[in-house]
Amino acid sequence: MDNSVTMDKLVALCKGRGFVFPGSDIYGGLANSWDYGPLGVELKENIRREWWRFFVQESENSVGLDAGILMHPTVWEASGHVGGFQDPLMDCKACKTRHRADHLIEGSSKGKVNADGWPHEQLQTFIDDKKIVCPNCGKRDWTPIRDFKLMFQTSRGVTEDGSSTLYLRPETAQGQFVNFLNVQRSMRLKLPFGIGQVGKAFRNEITPGNFVFRTLEFEQMEHQFFCRAEGSDKHYLQYKKKIWDFYAERLGIDPKNMRYHDHEKLVFYAKAAVDMEYNFCFGWKEINGTHHRGIHDLTQHAKFSGKPQEYIDPITNEKITPAVIESSIGLTRAILVVLHDAYREEKLGDGETRVVLKLKHSIAPYKVAVLPLQKKDLTDKAREVYRSLSKHFMVTYDDTASIGKRYRRQDEIGTPFCVTVDYDTLNDKCVTVRDRDSMKQERVAIDQLVSYFGKKF
């Protein structure tokens, strides 16, 4: 991890340069909610495209889905969310802040103790025995642990009785499970096959979020791989490696900042589970979950719907309830990983320091910045270059301030290349191309720019 990066620096850069803004900012904000600005939208879309290519487009026998946010309420009974989706919370009586009991334990032990899934009694005993204090005010005056429901609840129709209750989905996976047979039959898929989906999910998070790491609404990129239970372990191991390759190769994350964390405690139906973790400036945190879910999900939906969720082998007519291997990534969390990993502060030869986002070219918001050396006499030619490039790449145009300041501005937002139009351009029909990472410059003919950048990207 680059020691120069801090959350305060990232938040300031994101707001100042148009990546991420606080939600409802002019009204004082809404905790754990964020809006994505012009550059954030581009970065998010580029990461989404890379995931889709890697998990759907380039994966044999894999297709996509876009299921609804609102689903039949029984879906969430079958999934276990209605009865068991809650956090163990404690209030500090002194400063009125609210905290997750398992996170208090993890924080006080500096990550050495993972209390996720502990029963209330065990959590309470540990907090009492270790005399854990409030991280906000330093006092130890806690309320008893209480369950806090994480699903947002709404109602349908003109009345608010129990029959009209609906929920904003807390995950996208259930849409893939309930559409398993629709997808399989309509696309004539044979086991094994995958269904990928990117979409919004909502959780009633009240704990501190570390910027966009934990938010009220977020986007998930989830891939469910349906296979025979026999031999499913090999698919699980393949997906474990697959997520490492996605972060390292497709998003350009430094492998030194990543690690696996295999689950020691599993939910009753799971066969195996592993988290991919990243070394943020606030510690190692989960950025992906890969789960061997067995046949639990389809079995549950068959039970609650009364409709068998079985694959019929076209050759043997055997009825099979497939096992599921799940890969789940928070898209908004992936944005934080990418920004955190790319942030650099570099000392230059003239004694100055430049801030640069060394984003992988394929996910950088802008691929090229077109900069006229001066507005006078060069604007028309620079605009001509901009228009020709913008048909092929995401390009920005900047003619404000000195050329040095404009270079620094593009470095800060991670633009891989700057194209400078100068007075020589009017005669030799060439421009100066500057590389973000090396800062080296070379002259390139205008009519060669598209092929030049095509090779670079």
Q: 28-57, pLDDT tens digit by residue?
A: 988 889 999 999 999 999 999 999 999 999
pLDDT (tens digit, 9 = 90+) per residue, 266-321?
Answer: 888 899 999 999 999 999 999 999 999 999 999 999 999 999 999 999 999 999 99
Is 141 a domain residue?
Answer: no
Does residue 156 share a domain with residue 36? yes
What is the rounded distance in angstroms from the CA atom of residue 252 to the CA atom of residue 249?
5
Does residue 320 share a domain with residue 406? no
Does residue 313 share a domain with residue 380? no
| pLDDT above 70: residue 159 | no
| pLDDT above 60: residue 15 | yes
Is 11 a domain residue?
Answer: yes
Tell me what the pLDDT averaged over the chain comes to.
Answer: 92
Single out the residue in 339, 358, 379 at which a domain terminates. 339
- Please report the pLDDT score of residue 376 as a whole number: 85
How far apart, in Å, are the Cα atoms of 127 and each of 94, 115, 122, 145, 416? 17, 11, 9, 11, 49
Q: Residue 381 sits in which domain range?
A: 366-456
Is 361 a domain residue?
Answer: no
Does residue 169 share a domain with residue 53? yes
Does residue 373 share a domain with residue 305? no
Single out the residue in 339, 356, 382 at which a domain terminates. 339
- Please report the pLDDT score of residue 301 as a whole number: 96
Using a pLDDT cut of 70, give the percent of the chain over it: 97
What is the rounded distance in angstroms from the CA atom of residue 228 to the CA atom of residue 301?
18
Instruction: Read off the pLDDT of each residue in 158-170 and give the average, rounded to a whole number.
Output: 75
| pLDDT above 90: residue 356 | yes
Is 111 a domain residue?
Answer: no
- Please report the pLDDT score of residue 86 as a whole number: 72
Is 75 a domain residue?
Answer: yes
Does residue 249 share a domain with residue 378? no
Is 136 a domain residue?
Answer: no
Does residue 275 share a domain with residue 390? no
Q: Which CATH number does the domain housing residue 395 bear?
A: 3.40.50.800
Does residue 386 share a domain with residue 421? yes
Count Cβ atoms below 10 Å from residue 350 Cβ, excluding itself: 5
Q: Which of 6-15, 78-87, 263-272, 368-377 has the lowest mean pLDDT?
A: 78-87
Nearest CA among 446, 456, 439 for reference residue 404: 439
| pLDDT above 70: residue 163 | no
Q: Which CATH number does the domain housing residue 315 bear?
A: 3.30.930.10
Does residue 214 share a domain with residue 164? yes
Is 123 a domain residue?
Answer: no
Is 331 a domain residue?
Answer: yes
Does residue 311 share a domain with residue 377? no
Does residue 334 share a domain with residue 272? yes
Residue with more model confidence, 402 or 161: 402
The structural domain count of the chain equals: 2
Does residue 429 share a domain with residue 376? yes
- Please report the pLDDT score of residue 82 as a whole number: 83
